[in-house]
Amino acid sequence: MLIVAALLLQATVILPPGEEPVEPYTQSDVNAGAKPFRDDTLWKAFHESAGVSRIVDDLVTRNQNDPRISDIFRNQDTVRLRRTLKEQFCYILGGGCTYTGRDMKTAHKNMGVQRADMAALVENLQAAMRAERIPFGAQNRLLAKLAPMHRDVVQR
Ligand code: HEM
């Protein structure tokens, strides 16, 4: 009994490599903050896992090096951020992933993100998508899914 309890406890605290623990939360695709596209047309336009992985890695690096918003990314768990962002984009783009991260309000709580910070991040995402040669129309369809999230990300 004790061994089973110990194993269960261990299972709940196992973290993906390199990630820090976060406050417990209920996992759900709803946390991704947008409904997914119904088919995989956009997923293919984004070059599937490899393309989304390159875009997210490029985006996070651009944000960390962008003097407008780099302070917000300092001392944050960008290993977890990369993993959950890849899941979120895959889920929304119709790639069939499960999103395991927190909802947008919880993830950005007390971060003090302003409208201009959101605009800077969107510019960096556009640059990352351009670098991956994502067709302009496909870029805009992802941006349209992300835009309403400003309500939960930006603090006033
Ligand atoms: C639509 C826009 C945005 C989306 C879709 C988004 C998505 C995400 C996701 C999926 C996470 C990780 C959730 C988790 O850990 O469970 C996250 C965390 C984070 N986001 Fe955003 N984000 C957006 C806007 C922004 C903006 C504008 C900033 C700052 C300029 C920002 C800064 C951060 C930081 C620093 C973290 C890491 C938090 C931590 O380590 O605890 N995000 N975001």
Residue ranges per structural domain of the chain: 27-153
Place of tokens 């417990």: 24
Kindly state the percentage of the chain with pLDDT values over 70.
92
Does ligand 1 have an atom closer than 6 angstroms to the CB of 125?
no
Multiple choice CATH, 27-153, 3.40.50.2300, 3.40.190.10, 1.10.490.10, 3.40.30.10: 1.10.490.10
76-80: long-range pairs with CB below 8 Å, 24+: 77/19, 77/20, 77/22, 79/16, 79/17, 79/18, 79/19, 80/16, 80/19, 80/20, 80/22
Window from 10-14, 89-93, 95-99 with minimum mean pLDDT:
10-14
Mean pLDDT score, 80-93: 98
Q: How confident is the model at residue 7 (pLDDT cuts 50, 70, 90)?
A: low
**What spacing in Å lies between the alpha carbon of 5 and ligand 1's midpoint?**
34
Rounded Cα gap, residues 83 and 37, in angstroms: 20
Predicted confidence (pLDDT) at residue 44 exceeds the cutoff of 80: yes
**What spacing in Å lies between the alpha carbon of 138 and ligand 1's midpoint?**
22
Residue nearest to atom 27 of ligand 1 (CA): 118
pTM: 0.93
Q: How confident is the model at residue 140 (pLDDT cuts 50, 70, 90)?
A: very high
